[in-house]
Amino acid sequence: MIVRIVKMSFQAEEIENFLSLFYSKKQYIRGFEGCSFLELYQDKSNPSIFFTYSYWESGDDLENYRHSALFKEVWAATKIKFNAKPEAWSLDQLVSLK
């Protein structure tokens, strides 16, 4: 399993637009083949900073998503709202306690 974490920082006036976009696309992202989990977080001390956490069955599934029409559409509409360069990490999950 691959855990993908993306940190994004938005222009203050674009936060609501980003949230509207995310809410309209979240089910499609989560429903993409190989995606088993999707969450969105907002920083408590800086409301312009968001993180997405997604779980992917394999690196190939994540790469298929990153090259999909869905990703290209969402990313094109998202990146114009940033106020800083996004950061992303792909991680191997070692332990999970629920």
How many other C-beta atoms can be found within 10 angstroms of the C-beta atom of residue 8? Answer: 21
What integer is the mean pLDDT of 55-80?
A: 97
pTM of the model: 0.93
The number of beta carbons lying within 10 Å of the beta carbon of residue 58 is 11
The mean predicted confidence, pLDDT, of the chain is 97
User: pLDDT (tens digit, 9 = 90+) per residue, 32-64?
Assistant: 999 999 999 999 999 999 999 999 999 999 999
Helix orientation angle between 69-79 and 15-30, rounded to the nearest 10 degrees: 170
Distance, in Å, from the CA atom of 38 to the CA atom of 25, rounded to the nearest integer, reads 11
The CATH code of domain 2-92 reads 3.30.70.100
